[in-house]
């Protein structure tokens, strides 16, 4: 199997789906001639033409709004938000129009919104956020957040084929840092969790870039057997996988790169408290970013985002509990 970066895998997934399904088209800021801010759509204008690779004005509301209309009449739009942070301008179209269309009108909205998210590269407060939970809270939307190249390609294809609006969070910090073997051709990755590393003493539940931070933090914690569960999909949330891990490990650390309050991990922790209480051998611990904007300054940013040492420390404390 060829080894691709996370970014190349997303690009390949999109390209393959455009090749095999004429209804798939791309809209976004600078996605055409420029090939996208991160070059995900590089070369696509040349291959698919300007009717299927459309540069748009700097108006996320217009991008998503137009895409909802296209999706309702049977096309499969893939919108690129240049940065996930900018989706706030298109919030109403996504949350109130796309998310509620099926409930109100019985119409499918096979829309994919690609959201380059996450920090770790001194992007500052408008280019580093992890707004997954905004959309988890909005009924009618699916929310995906892959951590590996293979899953990024498979989940993007699954998102495009899904009849529901899907928010696809691709972590910018993984774009060129993460490489992996990626199957050729079009395939769908299930919207379920993945055991990134099996273990028995404690489970760290994470998604996106934090999966890698968690793996590194728990690689060798005084010989403890530590499981890392990669959620991959936040909506739907794979509660069976969570229960399974908690039942085996009995100690849980939930990690978010997002601001901690009401983050995806808060939902996971609440679910565990209610449904896996009888399996717990200690408090459900959370590691997350404090409720402040992400700083530009590299040392300040490091102080905010969960680091390997933070996760390791919490795991050690909980193991000793």
Partner 1 sequence: MSSLPTDASAVIVDVVMPQMGVSVAEGLLVAWHKQVGDWVLADETICEISTDKIDTEVPAPASGRVVELLVEQEQTVPVGSVLARIATDAVAGDPHPDEQGPVISRVTPSGPPPAPQRPSPVVRRIAEREGIDLARVTGTGRGGRVRKQDVLAYLQDRERADGPAPGESAAPPAPLHIESPYRDEPLGQPLSRMRRTIAEHMVRSLHTAAHCTSIMEVDMSAVEAARAGRGLTGLAFVARATIDALQAHPELNATLEDGVLTRHADANLGIAVSLGEEGLIVPVIANAQELSVQGLAERIRELAVRARAGELRPDEVSGGTFTITNPGSFGTLASTPIINQPQVAILDLEAVVKRAVVVTDDQGDSIAIRPMTNLCLSWDHRALDGALAAQFLATLRMRLQDWRSA
- Residues in the site for partner 1, rule: CB under 8 A? 190, 192-195, 198, 200-201, 238, 240-241, 244-245, 247-248, 250-251, 260, 277-283, 285-292, 304-306, 310, 313-314, 317-318, 320-321
Residue 261 CB, nearest approach to partner 1 (Å): 9
Inter-residue contact 94 to 141 (CB < 8 Å): yes
> For the residues of 139-204, what is the DSSP string, one character each?
TT-EEE---SHHHHHHHHHHHHHSSS-EEEEEEGGGTTT-EEE--SS-----SS-EEEE--SSEEE
CB burial of 15-39 (b: ≥16 within 10 Å; e: otherwise) equals: bbbbeeeeebbbbbbbbbeebbbbe
- Could you say which of 102, 127, 137, 173 is catalytic? 127
Return the number of the residue (222 or 278) whose C-beta is nearest partner 1. Answer: 278
Return the number of the residue (47 or 281) whose C-beta is nearest partner 1. Answer: 281
Residue 32 CB, nearest approach to partner 1 (Å): 38
Would you state the structure tokens that stand for residue 250, as one six-digit string? Answer: 């009995």
- Rounded Cα distance between 262 and 287, Å, is 13
Residue 250 CB, nearest approach to partner 1 (Å): 5
Return the number of the residue (112 or 245) whose C-beta is nearest partner 1. Answer: 245
Residue 264 CB, nearest approach to partner 1 (Å): 14
Closest CA to 42 of 50, 51, 53, 34: 34
Return the number of the residue (31 or 314) whose C-beta is nearest partner 1. Answer: 314
Establish whether 127 is a catalytic residue.
yes
What is the set of active-site residues?
127
């Amino acid at each position: 199997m060829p080894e691709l970066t996370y970014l190349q895998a997303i690009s390949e997934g999109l390209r393959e789906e455009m090749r095999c399904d004429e209804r798939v088209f791309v809209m976004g800021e600078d996605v055409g001639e420029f090939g996208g801010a991160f070059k995900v759509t590089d070369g696509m204008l040349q291959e698919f033409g300007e009717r299927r690779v459309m540069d748009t004005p700097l108006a996320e509301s217009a991008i998503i709004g137009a895409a909802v209309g296209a999706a309702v009449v049977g096309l499969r739009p893939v919108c690129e938000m240049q940065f996930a942070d900018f989706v706030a301008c298109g919030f109403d179209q996504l949350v109130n129009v796309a998310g509620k269309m099926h409930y109100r009108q019985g119409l499918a909205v096979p829309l994919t919104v690609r959201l380059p998210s996450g920090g770790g590269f001194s992007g500052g407060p408008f280019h580093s956020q992890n707004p997954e939970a905004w959309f988890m809270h909005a009924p009618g939307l699916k929310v995906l957040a892959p951590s590996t190249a293979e899953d990024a390609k498979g989940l993007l294809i699954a998102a495009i084929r899904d009849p529901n609006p899907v928010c696809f969070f691709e972590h910018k910090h993984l774009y060129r840092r993460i490489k992996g073997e990626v199957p050729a051709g079009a395939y769908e990755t299930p919207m379920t969790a993945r055991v990134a590393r099996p273990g028995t003493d404690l489970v760290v539940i994470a998604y996106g870039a934090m999966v890698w931070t968690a793996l590194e933090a728990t690689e060798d914690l005084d010989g403890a057997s530590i499981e890392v569960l990669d959620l991959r999909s936040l909506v739907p949330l794979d509660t069976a996988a969570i229960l399974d891990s908690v039942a085996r490990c009995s100690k849980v650390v939930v990690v978010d790169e997002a601001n901690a309050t009401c983050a995806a991990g808060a939902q996971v922790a609440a679910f565990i408290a209610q449904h896996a209480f009888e399996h717990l051998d200690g408090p459900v611990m959370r590691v997350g970013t404090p409720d402040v904007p992400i700083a530009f300054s590299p040392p300040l940013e490091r102080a905010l985002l969960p680091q390997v040492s933070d996760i390791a420390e919490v795991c050690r404390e909980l193991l000793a509990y």
